[in-house]
Amino acid sequence: MSGIIGKKIGMTSLFDEEGRNIPCTVIEAGPCSVLQVRTVEKDGYFAVQLGFDDRSEKNVGKALLGHFKKAGSTPKRKLVEFHHGFDDLKLGDEITVKLFSEGEYVDVTGTSKGKGFQGVVKRHGFGGVMQASHGQHNRLRAPGSIGAGSDPSRVFKGMRMAGRMGGDQVTVQNLSVVKVDEEKNLLIVKGAVPGPKNSYVIIRRWN
């Protein structure tokens, strides 16, 4: 399984040959530079480290700057290791959107949008108290009982309660590649991918 690092540009829609409107996500996929090749003999496992999105040298520490210069690459903002699917790569090689082809399926991993502190209705889909009778006026979106007082006299771990929502790593599987624009390094996939605009995503293909 190989992949590439990308940036979510936004959503749009395309029409297929039958005239159906398809919601799509536009991703700037690569180019990614090979910054390190890990081997079983030296590191104990095989992996290829890719870097994406240039950054200024003045904001990079000396140790990391030396890491980039050793690979003959400019400093990158996003670094990701891929453990399968890349063979015969050398330091400084580039991986572009040519890795993908129209019609194949990919998995996209990103960080979901942060929603902040939310109640149980929004966070877990609780129905709330639908019947507002007998003088009840302020418990419509309350979670209700979270445990008995006498036994077990505590709240069990994992109880669904209010709290921070979003900001989690999410993977959407089997998204169809609708279009590949090699000139602009754009990958258009069917459906939505996690994260806000300009957030980094990892696109993996199955070999």
Domains plus CATH for the chain? 2-115+164-205 (2.40.30.10), 117-150 (no CATH)
Q: Is the pLDDT of residue 95 over 90?
A: no
The structure's pTM equals 0.84
**Cβ atoms 174, 114 nearer than 8 A:** no
Contacts of 177 (CB under 8 A, 6+ apart): 100, 101, 102, 103, 104, 105, 106, 187, 188, 189, 190
Given CA atoms 64, 69, 75, 79 in this order, what sign does their dihedral have? negative
The 10s digit of each residue's pLDDT in 11-38 is 999 988 888 899 999 999 979 989 888 8
% of the chain beyond a pLDDT of 70: 98
Contacts of 146 (CB under 8 A, 6+ apart): 155, 159, 161
What's the mean pLDDT in 85-98?
82
pLDDT of residue 39: 86
pLDDT of residue 161: 95
Confidence category of residue 112, pLDDT binned at 50, 70, 90: very high
The residue among 203 and 2 whose pLDDT is bigger is 203
Average pLDDT, the chain: 89
What's the mean pLDDT in 148-171?
94
Distance CA 207, CA 205 (A): 6
